[in-house]
């Protein structure tokens, strides 16, 4: 399926603090090129924002018939279009911003992105979330919104420790009683960011609240889905994407439900036109 991957939309997020991004969050959009309505996915990136590996995974999903929106998660702190590098400086910056931005601001971003997709004329109204690393945690929190029917969380960091955001004190596990989305969770056993005890804590909480979930632990390192660098595992990438597409296909496509649709939101090409 041919796709479009050159569009963006700039959203004013209520309550967003002014900064280099001016309080406006940029969404990068990926969608099938042919006319039609498709389920919408909010894809939350790792700490480096919308890098080329993130764009390639978003394009893959769009090619399977989804309208994908990828937010710039640090829009209050970085100019629009900024992608941090996969190096020590980029890692330090991304990790610092992860505990500088308030959890409420991450949640406001998620609500704005879901609102955008729910109103988009090319969206059926069926919504899902996905994310990797920090984005896996954000995808989980976004799935606490009752509009989200399915979520795919890959090695979500800080979920077990409750250390997301300013003050390093989030309520993600406490709020799991609100989770109605069917949720896929995938972890690497060799990932030091989510150790065995942390994975057990998450799973015990899922069982405690009676969540609908699918759980996989694989022999992989942190960031094994990132298709560049020494930890990339192509076999695990294909397997994990297969689990995700099966979930989204079953939950977002086979229900037959169509959500509300309204006038198109403004979109811009990646080159700014």
Active-site option among 109, 145, 222, 233: 222
Using CA atoms, how far apart are residues 189 and 84, in angstroms rounded to an integer? 26
Active-site option among 120, 133, 160, 193: 133
Question: Structural domain tally of the chain?
Answer: 1
The domain in which residue 148 lies consists of 3-269
Does 133 qualify as catalytic in the annotation? yes
Does 191 qualify as catalytic in the annotation? yes
Element housing 184 (H / E): strand 182-188
Among candidate residues 169, 159, 129, 141, the one with its CA nearest the CA of residue 42: 129
What's the token pair of residue 151? Answer: 């979520």
Active-site option among 109, 191, 193, 233: 191
Q: pLDDT in tens for each of the 273 residues of the chain? A: 999 999 999 999 987 776 676 679 999 999 999 999 999 999 999 999 999 999 999 999 999 999 999 999 999 999 999 999 999 999 999 999 999 999 999 999 999 999 999 999 999 999 999 999 999 999 999 999 999 999 999 999 999 999 999 999 999 999 999 999 999 999 999 999 999 999 999 999 999 999 999 999 999 999 999 999 999 999 999 999 999 999 999 999 975 443 333 333 444 444 333
What is the Cβ-side half-sphere exposure of residue 169, based on CA atoms within 13 angstroms? 1
Answer whether 77's CB lies under 8 Å from 102's CB.
no
DSSP reduced 3-state for 127: strand
Give me the CATH number covering residue 64: 3.40.50.1820
Does 87 qualify as catalytic in the annotation? no
DSSP letter (8 states) at residue 37? -
Please write down the long-range contacts of 163-168, taking CB distance under 8 Å and 24 or more positions apart.
163/99, 164/98, 164/99, 164/103, 164/106, 164/134, 164/137, 165/98, 165/99, 165/101, 165/102, 165/103, 165/105, 165/106, 166/99, 166/100, 166/101, 166/102, 166/103, 167/102, 168/99
Using CA atoms, how far apart are residues 61 and 197, in angstroms rounded to an integer? 32
Using CA atoms, how far apart are residues 210 and 176, in angstroms rounded to an integer? 10
Cβ neighbour number for residue 29 with a 10 Å cutoff = 26
| Partner residues linked to 70 by β-bridges | 28
Using CA atoms, how far apart are residues 66 and 46, in angstroms rounded to an integer? 20
């Amino acid at each position: 399926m041919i796709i479009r991957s050159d569009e963006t939309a700039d959203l004013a997020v209520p309550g967003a603090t002014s900064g280099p991004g001016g309080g406006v969050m940029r969404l990068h959009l990926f969608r099938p090129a042919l006319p039609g309505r498709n389920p919408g996915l909010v894809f939350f990136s790792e700490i480096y924002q919308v890098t080329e590996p993130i764009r390639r995974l978003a394009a893959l999903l769009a090619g399977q018939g989804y309208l994908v929106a990828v937010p710039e998660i640090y829009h209050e702190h970085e100019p629009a279009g900024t992608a941090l590098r996969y190096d020590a400086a980029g890692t330090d910056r991304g990790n610092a911003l992860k505990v500088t931005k308030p959890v409420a601001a991450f949640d406001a971003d998620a609500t704005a992105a879901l609102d955008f997709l729910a109103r988009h004329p090319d969206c059926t109204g069926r919504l899902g979330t996905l994310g990797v690393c920090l984005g896996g945690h954000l995808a989980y929190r976004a799935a606490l919104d009752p509009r989200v029917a399915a979520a795919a969380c890959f090695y979500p960091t800080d979920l077990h420790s409750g250390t997301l955001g300013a003050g390093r004190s989030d309520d993600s596990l406490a709020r799991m009683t609100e989770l109605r989305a069917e949720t896929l969770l995938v972890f690497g056993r060799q990932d030091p960011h989510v150790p065995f005890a942390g994975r057990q804590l998450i799973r015990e909480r899922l069982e405690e609240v009676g969540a609908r979930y699918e759980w996989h632990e694989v022999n992989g390192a942190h960031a094994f889905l990132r298709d560049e660098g020494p930890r990339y595992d192509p076999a695990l990438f294909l397997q994990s994407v297969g689990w995700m597409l099966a979930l989204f296909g079953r939950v977002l496509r086979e229900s037959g439900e169509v959500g509300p649709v309204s006038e198109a939101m403004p979109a811009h090409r990646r080159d700014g036109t």
